[in-house]
Amino acid sequence: SKNTTASGNDATSALTADQVKIALVPGGPHPYFQPWKAAGQQAKQEFGLGDVTFNETSGWDQTKQNDVLKSLAAQGYNAFGIFGVSPDNINSTFQDLTRQGFQVASIASCPAGTTDDASFCLATDVEAAAYKAAKAAIAAMGGQGNLVHLTGNKVDSNTQRRMDGVQKAVDETNGKVKLVQTITDIDIDLQTAQRSVADLLAARGTDIQGIVNTAYNPAVASAAAVKQSGLPIKVVAIDDDPTILAGIKDGSVAATVAQNPVGQATVGSYALMKLAEGCTMTTPGVTIDSGSFVVSSDNVDSYDQERQAETTKLRQDFDDKYLSCS
């Protein structure tokens, strides 16, 4: 019987801001998502939301994430910003939630394929980010040489996109840069990443000039290993974790591609609130790039301003373009 579900899931009736309870649900524990906590609280204050919670207990398991989402719904949360563990089935999860009248946004990762059953996807364009990262690496290498790509779970469509992005940048060099190796599945844990990087450097440390990372643990591992080995390899990392920023400052990391987690959480919450208040998407399921920023020693102190500007612009775009409010 459908009438026993939690409050606020009646799709037709608009809510007021203080009735909107937002849950930000990452795929599992990861440094990337940590800024969401503060950003969510910030959004709660700023927009006068009923509640914003952050729940990372999914543990990179789609079944568990579905379970967590439903538990949150049962607790009265009625709008969800979700990083889908498995981009390939996450649309089904979105359907489940929207069927029950909840507001759903995919944040930080879009579903695989061309359709998105959430209201919108606010995420880094991973292909573009990987492309930028590879570009930065190629630039640091002086436009030629051998490049290696280190990344995460190979049976994840986002990984495929990252590989495409890197390939594209390499292709544009017309053979001056060769992508000699792509190592996947080493984002599971730090030791695995460290071991693989050590093996890589041992095997062909002397004939590679650049390493581009599109996952966190390999980035940390390769920055440290290259620094320690003293090889003239340019490392391009991902994200702006303190560890990596420190690397940029001390020169062991040539550049990193920062994403915009804060913007994703704030703007995502904002849009979810608007939708709950009765707005609709002009194009449901639209994909919106939350921006990616190449950070090098030149702009390491200033990139955040650029990013904040991007966030402000994103919010403006929602008001102007993506949302239609009566």
Write out the binding residues for other proteins, residues 246-275 only, by CB under 8 A.
246
Tell me the closest approach of the beta carbon of residue 292 to other proteins, in angstroms: 21
Instruction: Give the three-class secondary structure for 169.
Output: helix
Give the pair of three-digit tokens for residue 221: 């591992």
Stretch that binds other proteins, among 41-49, 128-136, 179-187, 289-297 (CB under 8 A): 179-187
Say how far apart CA 10 and CA 6 lie, in whole Å: 9
Say how far apart CA 83 and CA 157 lie, in whole Å: 14
Strands (E), the chain: 21-25, 51-54, 79-82, 103-107, 120-123, 145-150, 177-183, 210-213, 234-238, 255-258, 280-281, 286-289, 293-296, 323-324
Nearer to other proteins, 77 or 120 (CB): 77
Contact code string over 18-47 relative to other proteins, x by CB under 8 A: -----------xxx-xx-------------
For position 212 contacting other proteins by CB under 8 A, the verdict is: no
Give, as ranges, the residues between 134 and 173 that touch other proteins (CB under 8 A).
154-157, 160
Residue from 180, 284, 286, 296 binding other proteins (CB under 8 A): 180
Stretch that binds other proteins, among 181-189, 271-279, 299-307, 309-317 (CB under 8 A): 181-189
Residue from 38, 48, 113, 172 binding other proteins (CB under 8 A): 113
Say how far apart CA 195 and CA 190 lie, in whole Å: 9
Give the pair of three-digit tokens for residue 48: 């006068």
Tell me the closest approach of the beta carbon of residue 215 to other proteins, in angstroms: 12
CB neighbour burial string for 62-85, b if at least 16 within 10 angstroms, e if fewer: beebbebbeebbeeebbbbbbbbb
Nearer to other proteins, 100 or 313 (CB): 100
Is residue 39 classed exposed, middle or buried when 0-12, 13-18 and 19+ CB atoms within 10 A define those classes?
buried
Residue from 13, 16, 191, 283 binding other proteins (CB under 8 A): 191
Say how far apart CA 252 and CA 222 lie, in whole Å: 10
Give, as ranges, the residues between 53 and 112 that touch other proteins (CB under 8 A).
53, 55-57, 59, 61-64, 66-68, 70-76, 86, 88-89, 91-93, 95-96, 99-100, 112
Tell me the closest approach of the beta carbon of residue 324 to other proteins, in angstroms: 29
Backbone angles phi, psi at 308, to 5 degrees: -65, -35
CA distances from residue 49 to 16, 40, 52, 139 in whole angstroms, order as listed: 9, 10, 7, 45
198 contacts 224 by C-beta, under 8 angstroms? no
Nearer to other proteins, 172 or 189 (CB): 189
Give, as ranges, the residues between 217 and 236 that touch other proteins (CB under 8 A).
217, 220-221, 224, 228-229
Nearer to other proteins, 41 or 192 (CB): 192
Strands (E), 35-116: 51-54, 79-82, 103-107
Task: State the DSSP H helix or E strand holding residue 108, giving kind and residue range, or none if neither.
Answer: none
Stretch that binds other proteins, among 127-135, 195-203, 289-297, 307-315 (CB under 8 A): 195-203
Tell me the closest approach of the beta carbon of residue 88 to other proteins, in angstroms: 3
Residue from 78, 184, 264, 290 binding other proteins (CB under 8 A): 184
For position 278 contacting other proteins by CB under 8 A, the verdict is: no
Instruction: Give the three-class secondary structure for 184.
Output: coil
Tell me the closest approach of the beta carbon of residue 260 to other proteins, in angstroms: 18
Nearer to other proteins, 262 or 323 (CB): 262
Instruction: Give the three-class secondary structure for 211.
Output: strand
